Structure 1
Amino acid sequence: MSAQPPPPPQWVVDLNSPPPSKPKNSSIPDPPGYTASLTRKERAISSKQSSRKAPTSEEMDTLKMKKAWEVAIAPVKQLPMNAIGMYMTGNTLQIFSIFMVFSLFKTPVMAVLSLQKTFAMFETPGTSNRLIAVKLTYILTNMLMLALGIWKVNAMGLLPTTKSDWLAWEGERTWSERAVPREWL
């Protein structure tokens, strides 16, 4: 008695058999690019044959400039989230708020210092002059992030903005006249 192997699961049978042909009078059209009559091999061959043409240098420069602008305005997109984080940490000196403020100062400074490296992949002879405005925008957006950090430090009371913050450097007052005789004091 030889044991026959069990029949394959239904999903294997469905995978190996071609899908049933769709009736031609169906009201739902095929999606764009779908051809039911082609097999997998025929589709692979047709996709290789219908490869798209390479973009011209002007088109590549346009695409690089679009991507460079996206990189330049990325810090502004992070600004609302950082502002919410600053609001949520409160104005007291705690480790979490200190780390948040530290990152608000470190991130823009490091981004501006690595400016050339950030935009090196977009640098071509056709885009070099147009990248100046993009780089200036990138610096400006990072300075907005730095301004948020300065605002937070001021809200925490760490910036010396009042007269009482400078009392250590105040000299003793010399009175030119007194309302009370000196002996009474």
Structure 2
Amino acid sequence: MSQNTVPQWVADLEHPPQPRPKNSSIPDPPGFPSQAVSGKKQSKGPAAAPARKPPTAAETDTLKLKKAWEVALAPVKNLPMTAIMMYMSGNSLQIFSIMMVFMAFKNPIMGILATNQAFERFESDGNRGKMLQVKLAYVAMQIVALALGVWKVNAMGLLPTTTSDWLAWEAQRDPIEHAVVAL
């Protein structure tokens, strides 16, 4: 190969081959108008595609409300995996189960505290009343996630739910009778 010859791929980049004529038996995909209309080429600028009308305020509010509901129901989507992880970690006090319990309490509490920040991008003047319902649903879902953490703590035996857990605060009973040892 001599030094003056150029590889074929370089020649193709410098002088691309002519496009083949379109086979008219294959229809264009939806949303892609054909290049040749009645023998003339369309301009490839923004005017070639039909202009889309901007959404109305009601349509925008509806879309924002749908997205807000997706955010509100997201904590429930994580519950099955969290429950399985908690079940599999066991009920003994180990670093993994302690970390699972910590995360089970931390995430819902932080979610409840950041409720307004989670939904401020979806809120507008037209949907304020409906956003209150979404926020309440979000808080309810976070409480359900928190209840899962309480279940795990109870399963680990860390909640004081039995009488023996409260013996320090029980009053000692005064005996009605006394027994004397006979000699």
Q: Could you say whether these structures have the same fold, taking a TM-score greater than 0.5 normalized by the shorter chain as the test?
A: yes
Change (3 A) 1:139 1:11: farther
* Helix, strand or coil at the partner of 1:159: coil
Deviates more, 1:48-57 or 1:141-150: 48-57
Identity %: 50
CA drift of 1:54 comes to 1.1
List gaps (5 residues or longer) in structure 2: none
Within 5 Å, which residues of 2 pair with 1:34-73?
34-35=32-33, 37=35, 44-46=44-46, 49-73=49-73
Within 5 Å, which residues of 2 pair with 1:33-182?
33-35=31-33, 37=35, 44-46=44-46, 49-177=49-177, 181-182=179-180
Change (3 A) 1:48 1:79: farther
Show the counterpart of 2:30. 32
1:5-59 deviations in Å (ceiling 9; x for gaps) = 332239956x93244334444xx54322345536xx9674146653322111011
Q: Distance in 1 between matches of 2:62 and 2:18?
A: 44
Q: Distance in 1 between matches of 2:159 and 2:65?
A: 40
Q: Distance in 1 between matches of 2:42 and 2:24?
A: 22
Change (3 A) 1:155 1:51: same
Q: Distance in 2 between matches of 1:47 and 1:80?
A: 50
Q: TM-score, normalised by structure 1?
A: 0.83
Q: TM-score, normalised by structure 2?
A: 0.83
Q: Which amino acid aligns with 2:51?
A: S
Change (3 A) 1:147 1:12: farther
Q: Which amino acid aligns with 1:113?
A: L
Count of residue pairs the alignment pairs up: 176
RMSD (CA atoms): 2.6
Show the counterpart of 2:181. 183
